[in-house]
Amino acid sequence: MGLTTVIGPGATGSYAESDIPLPIAHFAHLVVDAPHGHLFISGGAGTDGILVTDLDGGNPTMLGGEPGATGLALSDDGSALYAALPDQDAIAAIDTKNLTESARYDTGAGTRPDSLAVAGGTLWFGYGTAGAGGIGSIDGAGTVTLRQDQGSWTAAPMLATTPTPSGVLAAAARTGDTSAFVTYRAEGGALTRQAAKALPVPDLNDFAVTADGLHLAVPSLQSASPDRYRTSDLAVDGQFATGVYGKAVAVAPDGTLAAGDRSTMTFPETGDDTYTEYFYDRNLRVAAHGVAWAPDESRVYGVAVDASGGTPTLHISRNPEIAPVTLSASRTTPLAPGEAYSFLMAPDSTLSLGAGQSMIPGTVRITRYDDAHPDGVLVPDPTAVPVRIPANFFGAYRVDGTAPLTGRLSFRVDYSGSGHYGPAGQSFDLPVAKYAPTMALTAPSSAGRAAPLTVTGHLTWPHAHMTTGTVHVVKTDLAHPSGYSVGTAPVAADGSFAFHDTPQAGGTDTYAFTYDGGTSYLPVTASAKVQVSRATPTLSVATDAKSYHANATVKVTAHLGTTYNSRSVTLYAQPAGRSRTQLKSGKVDAHGNLVASYKITRNTTFEAAFTGDYRYAPRTVSTGTTLTPTVRTETQWPLATTRVGSTTYQVFYKSESDMGFDVRVTPHQSGGCVSVYVEHYYSGAWHRTTSQSRVPLYSDGRYGYGRALKLFTNNDHYRIRGHYTPPAKGAQTGSVWSQWTYFTVRPGSPS
């Protein structure tokens, strides 16, 4: 039996930091033989040998003549590699120095040995098939002994022992929803049971014994747990630093663990968190038994496979007990030139601090770079800040200083590393540039003219700042519509300022505040408006009458009382149902009057408007005028007239049958109506005898009223008149009465 060269990875170290495809179809087991510089990798059923590479996964060769090799184990002195050959019912011993098979041990027909472990100076093997299994041994003389455990196994048990020689042996086999575990003391080629128990592991693929032999680590995909199982009684005894997840687990001689599924993760037996974690390609997952430690703990080897168990891929994690450390700074906001700063340099890691530690161990060196120190200057004695929860979990280092007036500012942080924490370095810039603070103002919404007022303000920076610059104030009012400077307001250390004023012009006074930024900041502007009171002027508008007939000329007079610097008034006319028009605008005369004329055609409202001045407020007043329509009346068919005193009466004869009375209104509106009233004189007074109320006018503005003459008393005195009422809504004229028309009715007919 000899070595066969295999085409695969290149020279030693060429794959030191990347995944290494293995030139085998499947994977079964992995053993690290550091003294001889070998990795031994078996492929299981269907293979014809054992893959051998150097410790970097390079220079692959195939140790042929070992068909179907599965479980692997090294002798205590490392001189022999043992390989289980289930299909051969045998175990091969291979010389690790010259890589040749030195012996082959027949374990008996149908035994199918699988898992191997060396404990108490004896090679132990789990053997059997589904439904029946056991533990056998091979002593130094090559004697094979079966059924070393008097208990029964439902399958070939999986074996594990400590990473360095001891008398501790453990066995396990899946039994359905749980797995059966047994621990032993191996001495003199015999096994003594310590404990036996079913543990809640439904998917047993691998397990390991801790370096001190006191506990078991059992990985799982379905029920991963950080529980440690005591070998003496298999009871839960504390927890590992993190959950043992995946299909593989391995223990280093110093007690550090490695486990894997989509990644290979290393972590201390107790404590918190992890050392390192390497993630494989998303199509790969760590294989059962696919994790192994270098004896000096300098490396962890992991083999991952695809979903079908193929494409075995090796990754080597270097310094697996050194947790990575990252560095970050608490400050990234810009600094103004010359501004003082204070910030924290904070380390972070996947591994928590140990009990009683308040700072990450090791030293930190911080170097400042700016235009004055292009090659850097060491920041002397940065202040150590112990752990604060939740601000930082590893302590921090505070740096205080002042930003340069010009140019850049950057830092380099170098952490030495210590213990299980790796070194780290990080460079970062602190932006130095002028920027604008924010400005907020507080001002009264209103104030009295000639009364003092105060506008206060506050400048806010995103962090500590230097006191520099002045606030300039520009005021805009009615007297200064383009604005004028009214002084400055000094800025206090806390960013506050105040401006006092006694406004002389009323109306809207606007105060614009501009912070000039001083030597280090950009300008910023804000404004506040204050409504300053003004006196109410005396203003009136009147017409020379309250009622007019159509096309009459109205004399409109506005009168303005005392004002300050404006004497202008505008007169407007607003005819009912039409838009407002301007009649006249200008200064009032020496008596305070402005006069205009207007030809009225309908009800009209007249307004006088004063736009206001520096000390007197705007004001508008109005007065209404009414257009009185012309009403004409006419009686129909009187045959004569007569006089009664000074009054003329129309004379009707009953032979005429009816008396007619016409009313005509000019102008009139659609919707206007007429009422007709008839009164009878008797007992020394007039009495209403009949009426007709709110009858619509004809389209020509006329209405005709008729009444039978037989209804009137012979030779008595009567009178009649009409009343026009415009529409209730949108009236363009007033209402109006006609004059009385007097009449009498005589019997018969005229002679």
How far apart CA 124 and CA 729 sit, in angstroms, is 116
**601 is written with which tokens?**
């055609």
Q: Are 264 and 248 in contact (CB under 8 A)?
A: no
- Class at the top of the CATH hierarchy for domain 325-430: mainly beta
Taking Cα atoms as reference points, which of 444, 442, 498 lies closest to residue 471? 498
Domains 33-199 and 630-746 share a fold: no
SS3 label, residue 309? coil
> Using CA atoms, how far apart are residues 699 and 627, in angstroms rounded to an integer?
20
Instruction: Give the position of tokens 């604008």.
Output: 436
Specify whether the CB–CB gap between 402 and 340 falls below 8 A: yes
Neighbours of 370 (CB within 10 A): 19
- Divide the 751 residues of the chain into consecutive groups of 10 and give the mean pLDDT of each group: 41 53 96 97 95 97 96 97 98 97 96 98 95 94 94 94 97 95 96 96 97 97 94 96 95 96 93 89 95 97 96 95 90 80 88 86 93 93 78 84 88 93 92 91 97 97 84 97 96 95 96 94 96 97 96 97 97 96 97 97 97 97 96 91 95 92 94 96 96 92 93 96 94 95 93 72
C-beta separation of 513 from 428 below 8 A = no
Between CA 663 and CA 738 the distance in angstroms is 8
Sorted by sequence, the CB contacts under 8 Å of residue 304 that are 6+ apart come out as 19, 260, 280, 281, 284, 285, 286, 287, 290, 312, 313, 315
Q: Are 430 and 409 in contact (CB under 8 A)?
A: yes
CATH node for 438-531: 2.60.40.10
From 110, 5, 125, select the one nearest 72 (Cα to Cα): 125
pLDDT of residue 17: 53
Q: What angle do CA 169, 170, 173 make, to 5 degrees?
A: 150
The enclosing H or E element of 39 equals strand 38-42
Report the pLDDT value the prediction gives residue 332, as an integer from 0 to 100.
64
Nearest CA to 37 out of 19, 24, 15, 52 is that of 52
Note every long-range contact of 679-686, with CB atoms under 8 Å and residues 24 or more positions apart, other chains counting: 679/718, 679/719, 679/720, 680/713, 680/716, 680/717, 680/718, 681/716, 681/717, 681/718, 681/719, 682/716, 686/719
State the SS3 of 246-302.
CCEEEECCCCCEEEECCEEEEECCCCCECCEEEECCCCCEEEEEEEEECCCCCEEEE
Q: What is the DSSP string of 580-617?
A: -EEEEEEE--TTSEEEEEEE-SS-EEEEEEE---SSB-
Instruction: Please state, in angstroms and rounded to a whole number, the distance separating the CA atoms of residues 116 and 50.
Output: 15
Return the beta strands (E) in 107-256 as ranges: 115-119, 122-129, 132-138, 144-145, 158-161, 168-174, 179-187, 190-199, 208-209, 215-217, 225-230, 236-244, 248-251
CA dihedral 25, 29, 33, 37 (to 10 degrees): 20
Helix (H) / strand (E) element for 633: namely: strand 630-636
Predicted confidence at residue 617, as pLDDT, reads 96
For the domain 630-746, what is the CATH superfamily, name and number? Immunoglobulins (2.60.40.10)
3-state secondary structure of 654: helix
- Identify the pLDDT of residue 387: 79
According to CATH, the topology of domain 539-628 is Immunoglobulin-like (2.60.40)
* Rounded-to-integer distance, Cα 32 and Cα 27, Å: 15
* CB distance 674 to 709 below 8 Å: no
The reply to whether CATH 2.130.10.10 applies to domain 33-199 is yes
* Sign, CA torsion 17/22/27/29: negative
What is the predicted pLDDT for the residue at 280? Answer: 92
* CA–CA distance, 155 with 130 (Å, rounded to integer): 5
Strand, helix or coil for residue 516 = coil
Pairing verdict, β 168-174 and 179-187:
antiparallel
Phi and psi angles of residue 710, each rounded to the nearest 5 degrees, phi first: -65, -15
Supply the pLDDT for residue 393.
Answer: 82
In the DSSP assignment, the letter for residue 305 is E
Give strand ranges (E) for 697-740.
702-708, 717-725, 736-737
Sketch the domain layout of the chain as residue ranges: 33-199, 325-430, 438-531, 539-628, 630-746
Go through 711-731 and write b for each residue having 16 or more CB atoms within 10 A of its CB, e for each that does not. Answer: ebeeeebbbbbbbbbbeeeeb
Q: Where are the beta strands (DSSP E) in 480-552?
A: 480-490, 496-501, 507-515, 524-532, 539-543, 547-548
Q: Which residues face 300 on adjacent strands?
A: 293, 317
Q: How confident is the model at residue 341, as a pLDDT?
A: 86
- Phi then psi for residue 11, to 5 deg, are -70, 165
Give the span between the Cα atoms of 73 and 119, in whole angstroms: 11
Give the C-alpha separation, 138 to 153, whole Å.
Answer: 19
- Cis geometry, peptide bond prior to residue 667 (ω within 30 degrees of 0): yes
How far apart CA 331 and CA 161 sit, in angstroms, is 51
pLDDT of residue 340: 86
